[in-house]
Structure 1
């Protein structure tokens, strides 16, 4: 078996190990909020454990060694393995990324429910708890830590400031913290945020829909382009070349 084929097999095995199985629709979250539990779920299901990182880095290094060969094979293998290890350690686990994206998509609906609770006269903590109970999911789970701290009597300003640091849901934390600091009506602030998030969500959905048309036409273009070149361009070029050669 040739070294190039062995290198391809090693690199292919590394890519298969990097690809992780899809986690459940609702990954586990820790009480402190979005970050810690989602990262733990991502490490468990996303292939970012030290053992798997070491295996992937070793396979990538072995592939580089077999591909380069000679005196430069070993230094290339070490360099590729170290780079692969560092990149896998810094990359965001797939479970964390999917949970963040799902929370971002659910956030406009949850903020709208919270705005309805505020308009009904509920305090921000009760409105947030009611919205999360009415719309369970990734966004509601992301607010679990904030709801627990509010239930324990922590200062709402501190909770909103901490919430502003959470990925995917920070926009609501910043809006609530700004309203708390400036004294603006919380209901107006949250309602304006709900309208803004809804508009952004519709714009993002339209962009994704337009992208689907582009990606759907791409395979057709890839199939038609070679046929066009072979049936339309090549005969013309060949005919011109034959005429020039006859002269």
Structure 2
């Protein structure tokens, strides 16, 4: 005969069976509301797996102790380099925010000139623009309405160069009492000039990168067809 204490311990250690019995009787929470433990196995790190495969291929190609040492350095270096790269989603949001920032600065300045307070102006522009920058501006407006400090509110705008400049202008205006609308208009013009300069620089860099593969293809042919025969003829005449 099993002691009653043992039965109590067994029931305490297996709450799932008792919970199922309660649900069958009409008691307890519904089945879809009961939290179930997730899988304990963690998903493999695809990035680390890819680096390991590259290191293994390096070791097999080179062979020996030199291959093992080279594979270690290749795996560690490739893993560190890939992890420093900006994710595609983060880059897309950053570029979208940078593209909308000059327009947002112009619109906030226009609404401020119309007589609206800063929090309402920022919130109105946030709803009009939408996107990643609209979400950040909406957080700024909510922080201002809730009574947060100017530094805490405008810190929600992000850490990009244009966002820091816009936040610094708003903080200076709040501390000095100067009008923010004119500062934002000048900032919008500066941001547009900076974007145009970056686009021109990227276009020039793209031209160089396009010509580079062509030069790499023609250089070996030029050496083999032009320089090697001349060198062979000169050495043959001298020897």
TM-score normalized with structure 1 length: 0.62
| Structure-2 change in CA distance of 1:83 and 1:233 (3 Å) | closer
The alignment covers a number of residue pairs equal to 195
Within 5 A, what are the aligned runs for 1:20-99?
A: 51-56=45-50, 58-60=52-54, 62-63=56-57, 66=60, 92-99=86-93
What's the C-alpha RMSD, in Å, of the aligned pairs?
3.3
Q: Distance in 1 between matches of 2:211 and 2:71?
A: 40
The alpha-carbon deviation at position 161 of structure 1 amounts to 4.6
How far apart in 1 are the matches of 2:97 and 2:180? 22
In structure 1, distance between residues paired with 2:69 and 2:238: 54
CA distance in 2, matches of 1:51, 1:78: 18
- Residue 243 of structure 1 deviates from its aligned partner by 2.2
Q: Where does residue 157 of structure 1 map in the other structure?
A: 150
Distance 2:107 2:181 in 1: 11
Partners of 1:61 and 1:80 within 8 A in 2: yes
Whether 1:206 and 2:187 are equivalent positions in the alignment is no
C-alpha distance 154-57 of structure 1, shift in aligned 2 (>3 A): farther
- Distance change in 2, residues 1:160/1:173 (3 Å): farther
Does the alignment pair 1:176 with 2:170?
A: yes
Shift of 1:215: 1.8
Whether the 8 Å CA contact 1:111–1:131 is kept in 2: the answer is: no
> Following TM superposition, by how much is the alpha carbon of 1:194 offset from its aligned partner in structure 2, in angstroms?
1.1
What is residue 145 of structure 1 aligned with on the other side? 139
Separation (CA, whole Å) in 2 of partners of 1:73 and 1:59:
14
SS in 2 for 1:145: helix
Distance in structure 1 (CA, Å) of the matches to 2:60 and 2:97: 44
The SS at the match of 1:229 is helix
SS in 2 for 1:143: helix
Determine which of 211, 220, 230 is the counterpart of 2:214.
220
**CA–CA distance in 2 between the matches of 1:179 and 1:134?**
24
With over 3 angstroms needed to count, the CA separation of the structure-2 counterparts of 1:111 and 1:90, relative to structure 1, is same
Counterpart position of 1:234: 228
SS in 1 for 2:45: helix
Matches of 2:105 and 2:172 in 1, distance apart?
16
Consecutive unaligned residues of structure 1, counting only runs of 5 or more, are 1-48
TM-score by length of 2: 0.64
Deviation string, structure 1 residues 92-140 (Cα, Å, up to 9, x no partner): 4332233223322321222122222223333222322333333333322
Distance 1:55 1:195, change over 3 A: same
Preserved contact between residue 59 and residue 70 of structure 2 (Cα < 8 Å): yes
Kindly state the Cα deviation for residue 61 of structure 1 after the two structures are TM-superposed.
Answer: 5.5
